[in-house]
């Protein structure tokens, strides 16, 4: 929709959002599969879920209903009043809750004290020799930093890196997930460039050691497997070992020759030929990726409150 942040075409975001993180927090509550539930569902107390009764197109009504729930809890009403002292209770909307969610994400989950960070701050002993060699490969001879760069080692450039297709698919491309091409097709009434087909945005790599499984559809269980994939993408796609997947997902692997040919037809040019990494170089790359882990990110239990104003359990 129109506004300072890009959103799905049928969703008009309200004013007052503080950041892109706040904007994204507005959307999961609209999705039946993620949070809202289906018509006829009941909550944990056995009451009818009023959010699920609302039509999908009435997203503003869903947001209003959520705020009605929140402000109906006395302690939440007090906390919203303290957070927004200049805003009358009747003017509080879900965008104010989304701003709070965004603040929690930024303050609670930002981690910038990895060995790599300490090395950048002139602690030469912070990185192992293996991680240093891996960093030299990552930022030098290999194309990694063409997509993964900046403070988060992520990026905005969509690319097809030959990821095996697993899952039910999305939109008109189902049972395949066409990536950027599907998103563009939903937003604009014109064909998308062929380069968008199977293209996905590179994720940030901070704490990537802790975020398995990998790739957009979770096809690789380890960083070692990811590095092997990039070493020879065409071969990795053609010879993908489906036993890497959870048994419940193996039936959704699309390994037929037609799909493989389709994916390879728009493969990012950098990966059309092997990188020819040695075993040692692959190990060095993994060591570098693990050096992006902030030790504090290994245990986030301290972020879980003992209780919340609603009285709902928080550790289930």
CATH numbers and ranges of domains, the chain:
20-109 (no CATH), 115-296 (1.10.760.10)
Query: If DSSP codes are grouped into helix, strand and coil, which group holds residue 126?
Result: coil
Q: What's the distance, CA 232 to chain centroid?
A: 25
First-to-last C-alpha distance (Å) of the chain: 35
Mean pLDDT of 311-315: 86
What is the share, in percent, of the chain residues with pLDDT greater than 90?
75
The predicted model scores a pTM of: 0.85
- Quick: pLDDT tens for 6-15: 666 567 889 8
Check pLDDT > 60 for residue 3: no
121 neighbors 273 (Cβ within 8 angstroms): no
pLDDT at 309: 94
CA distance 255 to 253: 6
Closest by alpha carbon to 184, among 174, 164, 199, 169?
A: 199
What are all long-range contacts of 236-239, with beta carbons under 8 Å and residues at least 24 apart?
236/162, 236/164, 237/162, 237/163, 237/164, 237/263, 237/264
Distance CA 302, CA 105 (A): 14
Mean pLDDT value across the chain = 92
Identify the sign of the CA torsion 65, 70, 74, 78: negative
Kindly state the tokens that stand for 272.
């059309």
- pLDDT by residue (tens digit) across 181-224? 888 887 776 677 788 999 999 999 999 999 999 999 999 999 99
pLDDT surpasses 70 at 1: no
Please say whether the dihedral angle defined by the alpha carbons of residues 268, 269, 271 and 273, taken in this order, is positive or negative.
positive
pLDDT at 194: 82
Interatomic CA distance for residues 196 and 301, integer angstroms: 39
DSSP annotation of 248 reads G
pLDDT of residue 2: 43
Structure tokens at 231: 């070493």
- Which has the higher per-residue pLDDT, 49 or 188? 49
Cβ-contact 260, 237 below 8 angstroms: yes
CB distance 155 to 147 below 8 Å: yes
């Amino acid at each position: 929709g129109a506004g300072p942040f890009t959103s799905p075409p049928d969703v008009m975001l309200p004013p007052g959002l503080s950041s892109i993180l706040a904007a994204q927090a507005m959307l999961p509550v609209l999705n039946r599969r993620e949070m809202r539930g289906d018509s006829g569902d009941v909550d944990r107390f056995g009451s009818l879920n009023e959010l699920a009764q609302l039509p999908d197109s009435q997203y503003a009504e869903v947001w209003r209903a959520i705020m009605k729930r929140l402000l109906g809890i006395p302690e939440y009403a007090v906390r919203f009043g303290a957070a927004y002292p200049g805003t009358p209770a009747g003017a509080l909307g879900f965008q104010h809750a989304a701003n709070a969610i965004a603040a929690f994400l930024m303050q609670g989950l930002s981690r910038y004290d990895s060995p790599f960070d300490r090395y950048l701050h002139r602690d030469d002993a912070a990185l192992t020799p293996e991680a240093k060699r891996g960093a030299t490969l990552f930022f030098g001879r290999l194309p990694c930093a063409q997509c993964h760069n900046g403070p988060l080692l992520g990026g905005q450039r969509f690319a097809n890196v030959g990821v095996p297709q697993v899952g039910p698919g999305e939109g008109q491309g189902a049972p395949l997930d066409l990536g950027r091409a599907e998103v563009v097709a939903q937003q604009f009434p014109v064909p998308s460039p062929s380069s968008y087909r199977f293209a996905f945005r590179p994720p940030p790599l901070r704490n990537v050691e802790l975020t398995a499984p990998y790739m957009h559809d979770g096809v690789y269980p380890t960083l070692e497997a990811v590095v092997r994939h990039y070493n020879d993408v065409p071969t990795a796609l053609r010879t993908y070992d489906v036993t890497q997947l959870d048994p419940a997902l193996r039936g959704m692997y699309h390994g037929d020759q037609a799909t493989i040919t389709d994916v390879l037809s728009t493969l990012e040019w950098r990966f059309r030929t092997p990188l020819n990494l040695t075993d040692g170089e692959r190990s060095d790359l993994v060591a570098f990726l693990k050096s992006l882990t902030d030790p504090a990110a290994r245990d986030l239990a301290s972020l879980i409150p003992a209780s919340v104003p609603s009285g709902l359990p928080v550790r289930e």
